[in-house]
Amino acid sequence: MPYYLTTPIYYVNGKPHIGHAYTTCAADILVRHRRQRGDETFFLTGVDEHATKVYRVAEEQGLPVQEYVDQIAEVWRELAPRLNAEPDFFIRTSDEGHKRFVREFLQRIYDNGDVYEGVYSGLYCVGCEEFKSEDELIDGKCPIHGTVPERIEEKNYFFRLSAYQDRLLELYDARADFVLPEFRFNEARSFIAGGLQDFSISRAGQPWGIPLPWDESQVAYVWADALINYLSALTYARPGEDLRPEFWPGRHLMAKDILRFHCIYWPAMLLAAGYEVPKQIFVHGYLLLDDKKVSKSLGNVVDPLELIDVYGADPIRYWCARAVSFGQDGSASIDGIHERYERELGNDLGNLLSRTTAMIERYRDGRIWPRAGRNDELAAAVDEMRGGVERNLDRYDITGAIDAIWSLVRRLNRYVTDRAPWVLAKDESQAAELDAILYDLADGLRVVAIAVASYLPETAPRLLEALGQPLDLAWDGVAYGRLVPAERIGAAPPLFPRIDPPPALAAA
**Which residues are catalytically annotated?**
17, 20, 125, 128, 142, 145, 293, 296
> Which residue lies nearer to ligand MSP by CB, 98 or 340?
98
DSSP state, 178?
A: S
Of the pair 223, 439, the CB lying nearest ligand MSP is at 223
Instruction: Report the residue closest to ligand MSP, judged by CB.
Output: 19
Closest approach of ligand MSP to the CB of residue 117, in Å? 25
Task: Produce one character per residue of 91-126: b if its CB has 16 or more CB atoms within 10 Å, e if not.
Answer: bbbbbeebbebbbebbeebbeeebbeeeebeebbbb
Question: φ, ψ for residue 280 (rounded to 5)?
Answer: -165, 150
Between 111 and 306, whose beta carbon lies closer to ligand MSP?
306
Which candidate, 190, 116, 193, places its Cα nearest to that of 160? Answer: 116
Instruction: Please report, as ranges, the residues that interact with ligand MSP according to CB under 6 A.
Output: 8-11, 19-20, 22-23, 48, 226-227, 229, 254-255, 257-258, 286-287
Reference 233, options 65, 105, 73; nearest CA is 105
Helices (H), 241-351: 244-247, 259-260, 266-273, 291-293, 307-311, 313-323, 335-340
Q: How far is the CB of 241 from ligand MSP (least distance, A)?
A: 23
- By three-state DSSP, how is residue 77 classified? helix
Amino acid in the structure at residue 313: A
**Integer Cα distance of 257 and 151 in angstroms:** 23
In terms of CB distance, is 219 or 258 closer to ligand MSP?
Answer: 258
Please, what is the minimum distance in Å from the beta carbon of residue 112 to ligand MSP?
22
**Closest separation in Å from C-beta 491 to ligand MSP:** 40
Nearer to ligand MSP, 91 or 243 (CB): 91
Q: How far is the CB of 23 from ligand MSP (least distance, A)?
A: 4
Which one-letter DSSP state was computed for residue 347? Answer: I
Length of the chain: 508
Phi and psi dihedrals of 328, rounded to 5? -90, 160
C-beta of residue 440 within 8 angstroms of C-beta of residue 371: yes
Nearest Cα residue to 259 out of 179, 199, 331, 200: 179
Nearer to ligand MSP, 287 or 385 (CB): 287
DSSP state of 368: B
Q: How far is the CB of 494 from ligand MSP (least distance, A)?
A: 31
Q: At what angle do helices 352-364 and 459-466 cross, to 10 degrees?
A: 10
Distance from C-alpha of 275 to C-alpha of 288, rounded to nearest angstrom: 36
Burial of 204 (0-12, 13-18, 19+ CB in 10 A): middle
What is d(CA 437, CA 439) in angstroms, rounded to the nearest whole number?
5
Residue 270, CA atoms < 13 Å, CB-side half-sphere:
24
CB nearer ligand MSP, residue 79 or residue 412: 79
**3-class DSSP assignment, residue 256:** helix
Least distance in angstroms from the C-beta of 331 to ligand MSP = 10
With residue 410 as reference, give the H or E element that holds it.
helix 398-419
Rank residues 258 and 382 by Cβ distance to ligand MSP and give the closer one.
258
Least distance to ligand MSP, CB of residue 502, Å = 21
Which residues does 328 contact at the CB level (< 8 Å), separation at least 6?
Answer: 285
Nearer to ligand MSP, 21 or 478 (CB): 21
| Smallest separation (angstroms) from ligand MSP to the CB of 134 | 23
